[in-house]
Structure 1
Amino acid sequence: MKKLKFIYTLWLALPLVAVISGCQKQLERINQNPNEPSIVQPDYLLSNGIKANVDTYWGNEASMEAALLYVQYWSKIQYTDPDRYIPAAANIQTVWSNFYAQGIEDFTTLVQLGDSLPNPNYKAVGLIMRAWLFQNVTDLFGSVPYSQAANIRQYLTPKYDEQKDIYTGILAELKTAAQLIDETGNPIQGDILLAGNMRLWKKFANSLRLRIAIRIADKLPEVSKAVFAEVGADAALLVADNKENIQLNYKASPNQNPVGRNRETRNDYRISKTIIDKLKALNDPRLTIYADKAKDTSVHDLIGVTNGLPVDSAARLGFDRTSDIGTVFKTSDAPAVLFSYAELLFIQAEAAQRGWLSGNAATYYNQAITASLKQYGITDSLVTKYLAQPAVVYNATNYKQSIGDQKWLALFGNGLEAFAEWRRLDYPQLKPAYSGVLQGKIPLRLTYPSTEQAVNRENYKTAVATQGADVLTTKLWFDAF
């Protein structure tokens, strides 16, 4: 009897659902504004997507409160929980929501619009930016929604794809994007990143392919080798000098750099003692660029702060007697670098060492360091002196240490990429936070946001069962050693 009642009630409800659905569609037709376009403009999607997602990438939740602390570029002198590996749940949720709702959704729409527009460059740029976002999302979390993401009408609760499939998928998408680009075609509008320079967009796509190829080098070497064979040595297809660094050039408020915006109201970050000590040990001329002098003039040195101090210990150091990051990184118009020429050269050095590129690994390595130093205006004489130091000279027998240490120095400020490469190369060898809560370990990922456990629980559980426990210390697939 109860079963019959349930079926009867269900069937009674179905017409009501149909009525509600019909009313909703009717209201949608009535409420359309004839004076406003019903189709989103591609230029708006592009400019909004770039700004919102570079802000997230370079900003507070993903970078300042997580990656920059984990790789010990920055430290905290106040509110030290994130530096002790106690992330705020709201921050993790913001990273996930922003990248998906403000990025992957926008760029997927741009890709779809591109199929109906007479200009294929919109689709190409949408594919490139979406691939860049997926790379960052999987770098941070591991298995994430990919193949069913941004299609909420069909997949209300998308499955989680394994990291291997995400990397190989975006490699294919980037190749497609590079092939789609028409350098002599109609210009695109709304491009606040590369000002419509389609040759540079193609170089960005191919350079990203090399980044991902080296990321998976220890797990899928044959796939990586094939990518380098195709585009790895062709300078015409890749970022070619510091002038071609892929970066968003910020402006004055309200379009200022997120770090500059942060410093308008906060003063709880400092440069890490770890990187200060490394720069000093190498007589590195970037020292006074990466760090500012303490405001207290009685302090005659650049003073970094140990990562993960308890609140009371950090407070006793004093705001004015410790060094903040360098001014060049915290001005309102400081650029947010997405991909640099120095990074490309480090990638090529490693590929040459692995036998995937012709040329000398040490030469690429020296060129990479030179590019990083020249990026900050270091003179040629200082570059030569720096490269000649025994501690800097390339060591082919332990190339991961040479490349890992110097790539870490070169990526300063770019916390998410540095965090991924530190995990992959295992250099520099960082000590865990002084009072970290992970039993002497450093985070290897971000945990999934709690909303996923609530609204996408079955797919979340499947991902965790495959990948490992949903904790900060679970090693991701690309991190082979």
Structure 2
Amino acid sequence: MSSCDKDFAVVNTNPYALTNVNAGLLFSNAQRLTHAGSWEGEQTIVQQFVNAYNTGATAGFNFNEDNNNFNVPRWNDSYNGPVKLLEQIIQLTKADPTKANLYNQARIWKSFIFMTLVDTYGDVPYSQAGKAYLEAIFYPKYDKDEVIYESLYNEIKAATAALDASKDFVKEDMFFGKAANTTEQVAKWKKLGYSLMLRLGMRYSKIDETKAKNIVQEAYNGGLIQTNADNVYLVYNSIYNNPLNNGPRATNPYFYYLAEPFVNQLKTTADPRMKYVCGKYADPNQVLALTPDTTAAIQFGFPVGYDQTSVLKYPDYKGTKGTGQNYSQLNYTVFGSAVAPIFYITNAQTKLLLAEAAFRGWLSGVSGALTPKEYYEAGIKASFDEYALYPTNPVISATLQNSYISRTNVAYNAAKALELINTQYWIASLGNGAESFANFRRSGFPTLNPNKYNNNLQNGFTRRMAYPNEESARNNANYQEAVTSLGGADNLSTRIFWDK
């Protein structure tokens, strides 16, 4: 019944346990784990890409099906990855003046993650998200989508303004950690923050033009991304592969093709980016072992609304090839490479949003603002120049760039400005499906015909992804409240607040 407690604490302390956490390394991981999307997700909805085969499990947005396999990745990868990490970083650094810039960078990137989640699903867990460890909140409530957006605006505004060149340099930052000094890193992050604010402001264009204009002007005056050196992107290598491209590279490559509307857009405009994106292979299931034929004349996208069986009746069916279909796939040596970069916020996207803002008159009288035509052409050229960062380092010459923007079906035309600008945004955002999807819903461009594989969407388009099935099973009370808030239907046709 008796015992002693000599050295009790020492004996019962694990000498190998972590006693503190490097918040900077958590930040690196949060950036690295930011969900890159899925070719069978948003890019399929906006008809850039398609899985042509209906095997049951593969039926998703390609066939207007609500398939949990394709709804769940962005949710799980965001909440189980960067959301949890960023919330922890914020808690570790908010009271530490020596980590002020890391704290505000984490706030800005958290806003990016949640903006994408809202754009994808609508109402989502926000105020209570990522707090299972910190506050034992295992079943977070869902916040209203428009309320989250208001909070994101305030967070981006405050965090970006608070970045301070006299404070800490964040060497672990995977975007700008190689900056020469803190002044340069802070300047880059301020441009990132205000460019994200510009994107957020433009989301209001369908529902509140005055609000959109005010936020756009505020972002512009704060200072936006100016050159491709300011682009926000991640690079990959043979150990850490591009996660977007892993899907079609790893399993049954012959299932995957570029979609007809996207290939037609590139082909009919003689787009110099085409050969770095598209390729034909002697055997569509051996894409990693073969060299793609990038000859423009033989590139054809797989028709939207067809599968491997129904396509046999397509009026212009191109037939089979090898073990797959005789249609264009990704160029797996360049855009589809395992070491291709992933871009999140770019100079090209920023310039094209400014082109639309200028066209709408929202930059009228603003000091230094360019014309819609100047922003439009600068955005296209910035997209071309991004390709120098891809494998094989392709360079699109100034001659080709100028020839392209002078073509009749590309040249700026005020009568078709919104269509031209947003079609280019669609192309420039090819590797960022979430942004392609969001901007398509916001702008209505490019002009696409609905997928008519069936009538599941009543001859319309997918407007959001449905919540993961696990939410209705494990977080049912909060899930049901969110579905009611959305209008009573957790389906692909329900619109989020800015898509009215």
Q: Give the TM-score range, shorter chain.
A: 0.7 to 0.9
1:182 to 164, 168, 171: 164
What is the CA distance between 1:30 and its match in structure 2?
8.5
Aligned partners of 1:73, 1:124: CA distance in 2, in Å?
35
Cα distance change, pair 91–281 in 1 and its aligned pair in 2 (3 A): closer
Aligned partners of 1:147, 1:128: CA distance in 2, in Å?
15
**1:214-233 correspondence to structure 2 within 5 Å:** 214-233=202-221
Aligned partners of 1:423, 1:291: CA distance in 2, in Å?
25
1:207 to 191, 195, 204: 195
- CA offset digits 1:407-432 (Å, max 9, x no partner): 11221221110000001111112122
What is the CA distance between 1:475 and its match in structure 2?
1.6
Aligned partners of 1:451, 1:246: CA distance in 2, in Å?
32
What is the CA distance between 1:233 and its match in structure 2?
4.8
Partner of 2:344: 338
What is the CA distance between 1:31 and its match in structure 2?
6.5
SS in 1 for 2:53: coil
Select between 150-159 and 470-479 the one with higher mean Cα deviation: 150-159
Q: Say whether the 8 Å CA contact 1:52–1:103 is kept in structure 2.
A: yes
TM-score (norm: length of structure 2): 0.82
Q: State how many pairs are aligned.
A: 445
Aligned partners of 1:132, 1:98: CA distance in 2, in Å?
14
Cα distance change, pair 220–112 in 1 and its aligned pair in 2 (3 A): farther
- CA offset digits 1:311-338 (Å, max 9, x no partner): 4346963436322112322222210000
What is the CA distance between 1:360 and its match in structure 2?
1.5
Aligned partners of 1:362, 1:475: CA distance in 2, in Å?
32
Partner of 1:256: 241
Q: Say whether the 8 Å CA contact 1:216–1:224 is kept in structure 2.
A: yes
Aligned partners of 1:320, 1:455: CA distance in 2, in Å?
41
Aligned partners of 2:437, 2:10: CA distance in 1, in Å?
48
Q: Say whether the 8 Å CA contact 1:294–1:320 is kept in structure 2.
A: no
Partner of 2:181: none
What is the CA distance between 1:298 and its match in structure 2?
13
SS in 2 for 1:232: helix
2:490 to 453, 470, 478: 470
Q: Say whether the 8 Å CA contact 1:308–1:433 is kept in structure 2.
A: yes
**1:287-326 correspondence to structure 2 within 5 Å:** 287-295=274-282, 301-313=298-310, 317-318=320-321, 319=324, 321-326=326-331
What is the CA distance between 1:150 and its match in structure 2?
2.2
- CA offset digits 1:77-128 (Å, max 9, x no partner): 3345121122531442332122112111110111111123322111112111
Partner of 2:41: 66
1:448 matched to 2:467? The reply is yes
- CA offset digits 1:192-241 (Å, max 9, x no partner): 2322633212211111010001112232333332223323156xx32111
Aligned partners of 2:282, 2:325: CA distance in 1, in Å?
5
SS in 1 for 2:344: strand
Partner of 1:140: 120
- CA offset digits 1:327-375 (Å, max 9, x no partner): 3222222100001101000111111122221432222112111222233
Aligned partners of 1:30, 1:395: CA distance in 2, in Å?
77
Partner of 1:23: none
Cα distance change, pair 223–246 in 1 and its aligned pair in 2 (3 A): same
> Could you say what the CA RMSD is over the residues aligned between the two structures, in angstroms?
2.6
Q: Say whether the 8 Å CA contact 2:352–2:422 is kept in structure 1.
A: no
1:195 to 163, 166, 177: 177
Q: Say whether the 8 Å CA contact 1:70–1:419 is kept in structure 2.
A: yes
Aligned partners of 1:313, 1:323: CA distance in 2, in Å?
18
- CA offset digits 1:435-462 (Å, max 9, x no partner): 2443422211100112222233232222
Partner of 1:429: 447
Amino acid at match of 1:69: T
1:400 matched to 2:418? The reply is yes
Q: Which runs of 5+ in 2 are unaligned?
A: 1-8, 179-184, 284-292, 313-318, 388-394
Partner of 1:13: none
Aligned partners of 2:494, 2:415: CA distance in 1, in Å?
29
Select between 206-215 and 261-270 the one with higher mean Cα deviation: 261-270
Greater percentage in helix: 1
SS in 2 for 1:116: coil
Partner of 1:44: 25
What is the CA distance between 1:381 and its match in structure 2?
1.8
TM-score (norm: length of structure 1): 0.86
Amino acid at match of 2:492: L
SS in 2 for 1:278: helix
Q: Say whether the 8 Å CA contact 1:259–1:331 is kept in structure 2.
A: no
What is the CA distance between 1:471 and its match in structure 2?
0.6
Aligned partners of 1:314, 1:274: CA distance in 2, in Å?
16
Amino acid at match of 1:295: A
Q: Say whether the 8 Å CA contact 2:40–2:51 is kept in structure 1.
A: no
Identity %: 29
2:374 to 347, 350, 363: 363
Cα distance change, pair 30–455 in 1 and its aligned pair in 2 (3 A): farther
Cα distance change, pair 313–166 in 1 and its aligned pair in 2 (3 A): same
SS in 2 for 1:135: helix
Partner of 2:101: 121
Cα distance change, pair 312–30 in 1 and its aligned pair in 2 (3 A): farther
Q: Which runs of 5+ in 1 are unaligned?
A: 1-27
Aligned partners of 2:147, 2:362: CA distance in 1, in Å?
22
Aligned partners of 1:88, 1:195: CA distance in 2, in Å?
39
Cα distance change, pair 265–123 in 1 and its aligned pair in 2 (3 A): same
1:244 matched to 2:230? The reply is yes
